[in-house]
Amino acid sequence: MTRQTIECHLSALPHFRALSDDVIARIAQGCRMRTWRKLECIFSANETARAFFAVVEGSVRIYRANVDGRDQILHHLRVGQSFAEAAVLNFGSYPADARAMESPTVLLEIPREHVLGLLREDHRIAAAMVGSLSRWILVLADRVEELSIASVGVRLARHLLRLPATSICDELTIVLPGSKKDLAEHLSIAPETLSRLLRVWRERGILESQGRSILLRDPRVLEAIADGVDDVRSADSPCP
């Protein structure tokens, strides 16, 4: 029963999807499911990496604790995403902290020894792991690009446009994965700045925001902002 559940969750992972049932079954053998409560620590930085994880329920935050108390959020993981593969396959220890963000948060735990063994035996598993790692590289490279943009407006616009959204006749509805404070932290900006920015855009009719849901009334303008068109001048001077 549990075993079958594990197999089911495993094969739902993006890079394990292509694996045949027997391969999945072999991976499932060494795995187990564990549950955390909100804000509980999953692992800490520098701790020995004994396993990597996949989110089955709830969500997880990967962050680096800073001296001044302002943590830097590296990622926010949701159902169907895996993390800490690289720590397990290479580093030996976790390079960041992870904690559950909901109660309950259920994770599939794939122990280090188990993966390393399978990696040697089956090239299809190796290929799957290579896929997982590659995806992380792309995500991180995007993140580097995002953070290296000086203008906060551009940063926010880009980020919003990348979030999953539902479109209804030219308008997009986005539901933030966390609080606005989290979003600010993710973008490395002050919460006040985020609030003000949203207000300005609201006043310009670009969007509306109620709690965690944001309605993009005019996605095109936001795209223009994301492309670096100066937010201020675009409002007054139509064509100088």
Residues that bind a second copy (CB under 8 A): 64, 66-68, 72, 74, 85-86, 89-91, 95-96, 119-121, 123, 126-127, 129-131, 133-138, 140-141, 143-145, 147-150, 188, 227-228
| Residue 181 touches DNA, criterion: CB under 7 A | yes
Do 55 and 78 contact (CB within 8 A), yes or no? yes
CB of 231 to a second copy, least distance (A): 14
CB of 159 to a second copy, least distance (A): 13
| Residue 224 touches DNA, criterion: CB under 7 A | no
Mask of contacts with DNA, 138-177, x by CB under 7 A?
------------xxxx------------------------
Percentages helix, strand, coil for the chain, rounded to the nearest 5?
A: 45, 25, 30
Of 231, 198, 229, the C-alpha closest to 215 is: 198
Q: Which option in DNA, a second copy, none does residue 74 bind, with CB closer than 5 to 8 A by kind?
A: a second copy
Bond prior to 104 in cis (omega within 30° of 0)? yes
Query: Cα dist. 47→30, 50, 95, 231 in Å?
Result: 21, 9, 8, 45
Give residue 75's Cα distance to chain centre.
Answer: 4
Binding site for DNA (CB under 7 A): 150-153, 179-182, 188-196, 198-199, 209, 211-212, 232
